[in-house]
């Protein structure tokens, strides 16, 4: 059986580097808007779960900024390991009540914007091991006031990243995002989509290298495209009606993350930091 520890360490280092690049870019945007807002970083240790005691089961860092452009943006990284709760293990690829050891490392980002013309966004990538090892992740754009050119540019960046690795990836992972980021009780999509992939399995080290390279390019695609969209829209005038639409849309975003999002459930079931897990919730929302 492959020892994935060195690969987990490499993936963790990449996620931290990507976090640093993204946060620096977001802070640069705040400076351009005349704001001195900066990320505040809070480290945390994984909680005891399902009777675990002793040992280092990992943790992470929650990065949070509230500024003039980014009303609330969280960029979290974590690397954790231990045993899954036995009644939850069967829902995770390669795990069971009898074989419930796991490790996970990843980055998770959600940005809620002050100007309703600027789209909110979600991005995460991760590497997990149980009896199997795999990558997952993606990004999706969530505009309260959609612009067709923003949507196309966002998708084009991820299409190009996918095409570097496999000509089937973009259509497959775009459809996966469309299917996943859907609110059944509202019968609407959460936003205008993007890509989403999971269980990109690593049968050996060569497969790990291929999948890691793809996952890195997903992160680079996000870093390339989203700041461009922010700069394009952040100075636009907006009306009270525009803001109201943004707040109503945020209510639906919150509904999805609390009711359907698998990442939220995984974090809660594996002893994650509550503030980091729920950083995806908007700072203000309305339900009408």
**pLDDT more than 70, % of the chain:** 96
pLDDT tens sequence across 256-276: 999 998 888 888 887 778 888
pLDDT at 270: 79
Q: Which of 13, 8, 44, 3 is nearest to 219 (CA)?
A: 13
Instruction: Quote the CA–CA distance of 131 and 137 in Å, as a whole number.
Output: 20
CB 141 within 8 A of CB 154: yes
pLDDT tens sequence across 157-216: 999 999 999 999 999 999 999 999 999 999 999 999 999 999 999 999 999 999 999 999
**pLDDT more than 90, % of the chain:** 79
Under the banding of pLDDT at 50, 70 and 90, the label for residue 1 is low
If phi > 0 it is left, if psi is from -120 to 50 it is alpha, else beta; for residue 194 that is left
pLDDT tens sequence across 84-140: 888 887 888 878 888 888 999 999 999 999 999 999 999 999 999 999 999 999 999
pLDDT at 288: 80
pLDDT at 153: 98
CB 172 within 8 A of CB 235: no
CB 252 within 8 A of CB 189: no
- Residue range 5-280 forms a domain whose CATH class is alpha beta
Residues whose CB falls within 8 Å of the CB of residue 98, separated by 6 or more in sequence, listed in order: none
Residue 122 annotated in active site: yes
Instruction: Quote the CA–CA distance of 32 and 234 in Å, as a whole number.
Output: 10
Give the active site residue among 117, 122, 155, 189: 122
Long-range Cβ contacts of 54-61 (<8 Å, 24+ apart) = 57/81, 57/82, 57/271, 58/82, 58/103, 59/273, 60/272, 60/273, 60/276, 61/19
Say yes or no to pLDDT of 10 above 50.
Answer: yes
């Amino acid at each position: 059986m492959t020892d994935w520890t060195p690969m987990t360490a490499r993936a963790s280092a990449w996620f931290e580097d990507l976090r640093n690049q993204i946060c620096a870019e977001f802070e640069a945007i705040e400076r351009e808007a005349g704001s001195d807002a900066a990320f505040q970083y809070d480290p945390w240790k994984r909680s005891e779960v399902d009777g675990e005691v002793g040992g280092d089961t990992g943790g992470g860092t929650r990065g949070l900024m509230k500024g003039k452009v980014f009303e609330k943006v969280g960029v979290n990284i974590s690397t954790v390991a231990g045993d899954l709760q036995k009644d939850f293990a069967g829902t995770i690829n390669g795990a069971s009540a009898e074989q419930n050891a796991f490790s996970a490392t990843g980055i998770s980002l959600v940005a809620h914007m002050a100007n309703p013309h600027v789209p909110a966004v979600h991005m995460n990538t991760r590497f997990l091991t149980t009896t199997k090892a795999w990558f997952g992740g993606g990004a999706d754009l969530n505009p309260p006031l959609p612009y067709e050119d923003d949507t196309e540019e966002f998708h084009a960046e991820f299409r190009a990243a996918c095409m570097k690795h496999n000509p089937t990836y973009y259509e497959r992972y775009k459809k996966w995002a469309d299917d996943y980021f859907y609110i059944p009780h509202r019968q609407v999509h959460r936003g205008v989509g993007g890509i989403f992939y999971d269980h990109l399995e690593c049968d050996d080290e060569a497969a790990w290298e291929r999948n890691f390279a793809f996952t890195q390019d997903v992160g680079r695609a996000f870093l390339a495209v989203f700041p461009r969209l922010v700069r394009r829209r952040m100075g636009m005038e907006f009306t009270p009606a525009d803001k109201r639409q943004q707040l109503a849309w945020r209510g639906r975003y919150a509904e999805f993350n609390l009711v359907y999002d698998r990442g939220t459930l995984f974090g809660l079931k594996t002893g994650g930091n509550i503030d980091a897990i729920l950083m995806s919730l908007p700072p203000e929302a309305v339900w009408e």
